[in-house]
Amino acid sequence: MVHVAIKKEAGKFLSLKVKGHADSAPHGQDLVCSAISAVLTGGFNAIESKNNFHFRLNEGDAELIAKGPVSNHDEIVIETIITSLETIAEGKKKFIKIEIQ
């Protein structure tokens, strides 16, 4: 199962951590993992203020941590990432769990 942990404070983004594998199909054929990877890769690439974040994106392990204030543009990108992950989770609850703190 993929575990997504999102932290916010006063409605502002602090961090996004993703760990695990969906295991919805054999390695290389797992569409849930592929969808999650595509959302994270595209979203991380869309972040404008890259120096304001710590990034890590590996197989089965991703992290985006704000180092300071997040611009309006980057806040929209992050909310789009979260909404996309929630959309995947709606149809695949068995394979992805999202926790917002």
The pLDDT of 1-26, averaged and rounded, is 96
CATH number reported for the structural domain that contains residue 45 in this entry: 3.30.70.1490
pLDDT(85) > 90: yes
3-state secondary structure of 47: coil
Both tokens assigned to 27:
């390695």
Please state at what angle helix 31-46 crosses helix 72-91, rounded to 10 degrees. Answer: 170
Alpha-helical (H) ranges within the chain are 31-46, 72-91
Across the chain, mean pLDDT equals: 96
Give percent of the chain with pLDDT exceeding 90. 96
pLDDT(87) > 90: yes
Report the domain count for the chain: 1
pLDDT(61) > 90: yes
What per-residue confidence (pLDDT) applies to 74? 97
pTM for this predicted structure:
0.93
What per-residue confidence (pLDDT) applies to 27? 87
21: pLDDT confidence band, cut at 50, 70 and 90?
very high
Q: Which domain holds residue 21?
A: 2-100
